[in-house]
Structure formats: C-alpha cells, structure tokens
A and B are shown apart, each in its own frame.
Chain A
Amino acid sequence: MDMLLQSLDIFTRLDVWLALFVGSIGGVIIGAIPGVGPAVAIAILLPATYSMEPIVGITLLVGIYGASMYGGAIPAILINTPGTPVNALTTYDGYSMTQQGRARRALTLAYWSSFFGGIFSVICLMMMTSVIAQVAPLFGSRDILMAALLGLVLVIVSHRGQSLIAGLLVFLGMFIATIGMESIRYTKRFTFDQSWLNSGMDLITVLLGLFAMSQAFVLLIGNDFKVSMPDLKGQPKREGFYDLMKYKTVALISAAMGVIMGIIPGVGEFLAQFFSYNIANHISKKPERFGKGAPEGIIASEAANNAVPAAAMIPLLALGIPGEALTAMMLSVFYVHSIIPGPNLFINHADFVYGLYMSLFVVNVLIMIFLLVATRPLLRIIQIPQRFLGVAIMGLSFVGVYSLRNSLVDCMICAGFGVFGYVLRRLKMPIVPIILGMVLGNIMEQKFRAGMARVNDFTDFIDRPISFSIFIIIIIVLAVHGRNLWRNYQRNNSASQNSH
C-alpha cells in the first residue's frame, strides 16, 4: 500500500500528464480511424519514446494501446467497419443497433463496457501484484524458456485454420532474430559477407515494415471510400450506462475472461472476446437477439477487449515475456532504459511498476471523459480519405525508422519488410507470429544457453516443478489441437464423400 501511495508522486510531473493525455486522446483518435490501429502508431512512436523516461514512454504507449480499442468501437458501431481488428465482433450488435436508430445508445454502451473492462483489469493487476512479486522470482532460466515456448505454441494453435502458416512465420521470425553477430563467440550468422547484416535485423525496423509500411501500401493501392455517418443529435446519452448496469454479470464474466486471456502469452483479445461473446450468448435469456442488436453482445466484446491490455502487462513485467505484438514492442523500451522486465523488476523497480498501474487507471478515466464529450467531433476524423492516410503513414514510418540510426539501409530493410507484410495482408495471413517469433526466439536462445550450464541432458529442462508444469500444459495444448485437427479432417472427409 505504501508503495502504491508513493507511486502517486509521478502524477506531480508535467511530462507524465502530457503522456497520459497524448496517449489516451491520441489512442482514441488512432483507434477511430479504420486502417491505422495501435500497432502502426506504437511502431512509429517507439523510437521517439527512447529519449523519454521509461515511465513516460511506457505510459504513452500503454495509453495508445488501451485507448485505441475504445476508439475502434466507434466506426465498428457507426459504419460497420472496425477501427482496430479486435473490434470486429462489436460490429455484429453495434451496427445493428445503429440501423435501428440506436447509435448513441450502442456507443455509450461500448464506452462504459470498455471502461468497466479496463478498470476491472487494472484492479486485478494491482491485487495480483503481491502474488506476482512472490511467484516471479521462482522462475529460473529453464522455466522462462518453457514459458516462452508455451507462448509460441499458443501463438501457433490460436490461429485456427492457419496454424501451419502461423508456425512457418514464427520460425521465420526466430530465424530473423539469429541473423548477425552472436554474443557468446562473436561469430557471424547468416550475414552472407554483408557488413550491414553484422548487427542483425533491428526489431523496430522489421516492426515498422510489417505493420506500418505494409498498411500504408494497402491504403495507397486501394481506393477511398465514402462513408455516411448516422446523425447522433437528440439521441439519449445515458441508456448505455443503464444497459451495463442491467447486464453486469455479462460485463463481469467478459472482463474476467479478458484478464485470463491477457495473462496467457500468445492468446490476447481475439480469443477473449470470442469466448466472452459465446458465454454471453449462452447465459442470455434472449440469445436470438445476438447479432441483431443485443446489448450483451457489445458488452461481451468491448469489456473483454479492454481488459486485455493491463493483463497482458503481467507476463511482460513478471517474466519479460510479451504475449502479443504490442507488448513485444514495449519490451524494447524497457531494454533501452536498462529496466529488464522479469522476476527482479518487482524488487528493483517496484516504484516503476506501481506507477505504471496508476497510469493505466488514470488513462482509462481520461479516455472515458474524452469520449463522453468528444464523440461528435471524432466522427469527422473517421472520414479521412484512405489514400491520404496511406501517404501520412508512410511519412510517419520514415520518422520511426530513420531516427534509429539515420540509415538508408534501415529504410530499405523496412521497405522490404513492408512489401512482405503487404503480401501477407493480401493473402490474409497473420503478421504477429513473425514479431513474437523474433522476440520470444531471442529470449529462448538466451535462456537456453543460460540453462545449459545446469543441464546434462534435455530432460533436465523439465526437472523443476514450474518448467515441468508448463511442459505438461504444452503437451495438453498440443494434444487438444491435434484432436481438433483430426476431427476437422474427418468431418471434411465425410463431407466430401457425401457430396460425391
């Protein structure tokens, strides 16, 4: 409690407040513009945060991360286009409500549900801190190696129907992370005698290429589309809050689901909202309304989404293992400032951890206030022409990549990954596995080498209680995935036989 109160000191600083405001308001705007998304924004801003103090930089990024999902609900509800991919489920019931002339009600319900999910998650994070602080130091190199492996396995199996391509991209990411000089014997690996490859592929360069540049290319090659906004004038503003109160069980279950899924590396918002939406459907007295404007549908989707960002910080802070692309990006900010996330963070930088929790809390409050007063002006931003947005994203990508080392080569690598990302987007393939492969692959190699000092044969990797438990979880996950694949195969086979 003392530490929590001490952490309030950070709110006497102007730069922290500036980061809170820019993060929360900027995040809402970024989320509200279809085609940008938090990954693009964070990738662009990342190098700029290196010169900031860690708490300021991380607050800014976490603000954008959390706020973008609030903002993403606006176009999802009003024009049936999710602002960020994780708002896709909100379109089902949100847009239906708009068609029924209840747009304002859907919007305020989405805001309040998001707020509930966000605050619930922060409170959970605060309550779990003492447990995390006790459990995290128990993790040794081998345990972290297993946890990272679990993260990779979950990334692969959670891409239903795309597991093979997700696995391919994870290993590609892991391979990319090995390029350059290795740190033990200082030998070159896969540099092909090219001096510019000696220092390896910079994570930020790859990130900017895959997320920002590729998105810019998609927008530049596509067409502008005209959107017609529904008129919100005269619609009641408080009904959304009453709806949330009416369906508080759904809100609670969804937020809890978001927290659980956020903690598990490699899972994230998609599964959180998918499970909560299904649960809400099952427990609803009127399940037939789902997809046709059910308030519970919006609550399930938005509360679950917004509970994830704070929860996703748990594996990052406690073990140094990012669960998805955005926390992977934040990891680099920690490293730049020599704050190494992991078991010792809660001992050496407890003030930082509590400061971050409080910032997350304040961010949610600021976003909510902003949204309640500024929804109508925000509607204009959604109408920015898509191709012009592409021009702006490409211009902003330049700042991100060039400011790293003022290097033309970095820009060329970034552009190369941009084209690769464009191909992946065109083929509707996931991008996140490459980034997680890069980050987790690097962690795994380090922990593998560190763990080898205490290992005689490979079974020693799982002779500790934690690593053995994680190993069993990996086996169960793979077994369940294998069973599902087999069932799908049999179903498809019988379907094709029937069609003949």
Chain B
Amino acid sequence: MNSSEYLTGEKAFAILMAMLSSFLLYSIPQETQWFSGMAVSKQPRFWPAMCIIGLSLFAFSYGFSVWRKAAAMTNNNDDINTTELGEMKHWLGPIEFVGYFLLYVVAVPWLGYLLATLIYFLLMTWRMGYRKKSMFWISAATGLLIVLLFKTLLQVKITSGAWYELLPDAGATFMIINF
C-alpha cells in the first residue's frame, strides 16, 4: 500500500467508525433500560453509554485528524488516485475464504470432523494453487494430525458426523469418540 492508498483506507475507516458510533449513540435509549429512582451510576444504561460516548469522541477526533492529514496531502499535490469505495472492495477480499470456512463448519455435523477436515485441507490446497502431489499429501497429513491431536487426544467437543449413526454400534461409538 502506498501512502495515498493508506490515507484512503484511513478515511474509509474513519467514516465507518463515525457512522457506527452515531448509530450506537442513537440506539442507546432503545437498546438499554432506565429505572426511575435508581442512581445514575447504577443504571444498566450507564456503562454502555460511557463506552459509546468514549468511542464517539475518539471516532470523531480520529476522523478530524485523518481529514486534516488528507487536506495537507492534497495541498502538497500528492497523487490521490484511489477512492474510499475502491479501498473498501479490498476489505471484502477475505469474503471468499469466509464462505469456505462456513461451508466447512456446516459440513462437520454431516460428514464428521475427520472427513470434513480432510476435504477442507485438500480442496483449499487446490484452491491456493498448489498442484504438486507432495503438497496434497502434506495437506492431508496436516488435517489428520489436527484431528488426532484435538479430537482423539485432547477430546475437544466437536459434533460427530450424522453418517456415523449408519455404522455398526462398535464402529459408530469408535468414530463418535475419536473422530
């Protein structure tokens, strides 16, 4: 990122934060309760309101400082050729990977942790552009290692796969406990 892109990013962030803090300030009466006769400091509204006021003060001060910086940069005739919306498009870059992540989350209760993890690792390795066979072996081994470490060894609570129920009793129990 060059300095003008960075400044554009800062401007976009400042705008978003100013909008967020304004929205939260506006929402205080609807989203918190006020009990008559109770001391102000004991009100459920008191603490969130303090936080939002602090957030707003900093958000607007930050916005002002970015605005001053932008004005100085324009005066210096620096080349500002990116827009706030253009920068925000970059911020949405991870959305594709969020999609893959959520697909993985949805797949686990159906396929089981082991199978879903192996598929996740292999497909993601392919998506990342790796084509060497060795990379796929490493990828599958990493997935297996993670399952063995967390589910089999540390017994972290992860839903078992729906298809495990189709297995004979002993096999189903084994799969539910370990994978």
B158:A189 contact, CB within 8 angstroms = no
Within 8 A of A (CB), among B41-63: 41-42, 44-45, 47-48, 51-52, 54-55, 58-59, 61-62
Nearest CB of chain B from residue A357's CB, rounded to whole Å: 26
> Quick check: is B112 within 8 A (CB to CB) of the other chain?
no
B156:A178 contact, CB within 8 angstroms = no
B93:A190 contact, CB within 8 angstroms = no
Most chain B CB neighbours (cut-off 10 Å) among A48, A164, A187:
A164
> Quick check: is B22 within 8 A (CB to CB) of the other chain?
no
Task: Collect the chain A residues with CB atoms within 8 Å of residue B17's CB.
Answer: 168
A118-126, A328-336, A445-453 - the one binding chain B: A445-453
> Quick check: is B83 within 8 A (CB to CB) of the other chain?
no
Q: Mark B1-33, 1 if CB is under 8 A from A, else 0.
A: 100001001100100010000001001000111
Task: Collect the chain B residues with CB atoms within 8 Å of residue A426's CB.
Answer: 1, 9, 90-91
Q: Mark A166-205, 1 if CB is under 8 A from B, else 0.
A: 0110111011001000101101111110000000000000
Most chain A CB neighbours (cut-off 10 Å) among B52, B94, B129:
B94
The tally of residues in B whose CB lies under 8 Å from a CB in A reads 65
> Quick check: is B146 within 8 A (CB to CB) of the other chain?
yes
Task: Collect the chain B residues with CB atoms within 8 Å of residue A217's CB.
Answer: 93-94, 97
The tally of residues in A whose CB lies under 8 Å from a CB in B reads 60
A452:B55 contact, CB within 8 angstroms = no
Nearest CB of chain B from residue A158's CB, rounded to whole Å: 16
B105:A422 contact, CB within 8 angstroms = no
B27:A402 contact, CB within 8 angstroms = no
B31:A189 contact, CB within 8 angstroms = yes
A269-277, A307-315, A369-377, A386-394 - the one binding chain B: A386-394
> Quick check: is A5 within 8 A (CB to CB) of the other chain?
no
> Quick check: is B102 within 8 A (CB to CB) of the other chain?
yes
B58:A427 contact, CB within 8 angstroms = no
Task: Collect the chain A residues with CB atoms within 8 Å of residue B44's CB.
Answer: 182, 184-185, 187, 189
Nearest CB of chain A from residue B170's CB, rounded to whole Å: 24
> Quick check: is B163 within 8 A (CB to CB) of the other chain?
no
**Separation of A412 and B106 alpha carbons in the complex (Å):** 11
> Quick check: is B166 within 8 A (CB to CB) of the other chain?
no
B139:A391 contact, CB within 8 angstroms = yes
**Separation of A292 and B9 alpha carbons in the complex (Å):** 35
> Quick check: is A398 within 8 A (CB to CB) of the other chain?
yes
B91:A174 contact, CB within 8 angstroms = no
> Quick check: is A406 within 8 A (CB to CB) of the other chain?
yes
Nearest CB of chain B from residue A429's CB, rounded to whole Å: 8
A399:B51 contact, CB within 8 angstroms = no
**Separation of A47 and B1 alpha carbons in the complex (Å):** 36
**Separation of A387 and B52 alpha carbons in the complex (Å):** 38
> Quick check: is B159 within 8 A (CB to CB) of the other chain?
yes
B102:A172 contact, CB within 8 angstroms = no
Contacts known (A182-B44, A391-B121, A445-B47); A422 close to B158, Cβ less than 8 A: no
> Quick check: is B177 within 8 A (CB to CB) of the other chain?
no
Most chain A CB neighbours (cut-off 10 Å) among B35, B130, B135:
B130
A187:B33 contact, CB within 8 angstroms = yes
Task: Collect the chain B residues with CB atoms within 8 Å of residue A399's CB.
Answer: 146, 150, 156, 158
Q: Nearest residue in A to B56 (C-beta to C-beta)?
A: A171
B48:A189 contact, CB within 8 angstroms = yes
Q: Nearest residue in B to A52 (C-beta to C-beta)?
A: B154
Q: Nearest residue in B to A22 (C-beta to C-beta)?
A: B149
**Separation of A182 and B35 alpha carbons in the complex (Å):** 14
B62:A168 contact, CB within 8 angstroms = yes
A391:B54 contact, CB within 8 angstroms = no
> Quick check: is B125 within 8 A (CB to CB) of the other chain?
yes
Nearest CB of chain B from residue A395's CB, rounded to whole Å: 6
> Quick check: is A415 within 8 A (CB to CB) of the other chain?
yes
**Separation of A190 and B20 alpha carbons in the complex (Å):** 13
> Quick check: is A27 within 8 A (CB to CB) of the other chain?
no
Closest 7 CB pairs of A and B: A217-B94, A171-B55, A168-B58, A171-B54, A175-B51, A403-B156, A167-B58
Q: What are 14 A-B residue pairs whose CB atoms fall within 8 Å in the complex?
A: A168-B55, A171-B51, A171-B58, A175-B48, A182-B44, A190-B32, A395-B117, A395-B124, A399-B158, A402-B105, A403-B157, A423-B91, A427-B9, A448-B41
Measured CB to CB, the residues of A under 8 A from B are 47-48, 51, 164-165, 167-168, 170-172, 174-175, 178, 182, 184-185, 187-192, 213, 216-217, 220-221, 385, 387-388, 390-392, 394-399, 402-403, 406, 408, 411-412, 415, 418-419, 422-423, 426-429, 441, 445, 448-449, 452, 496
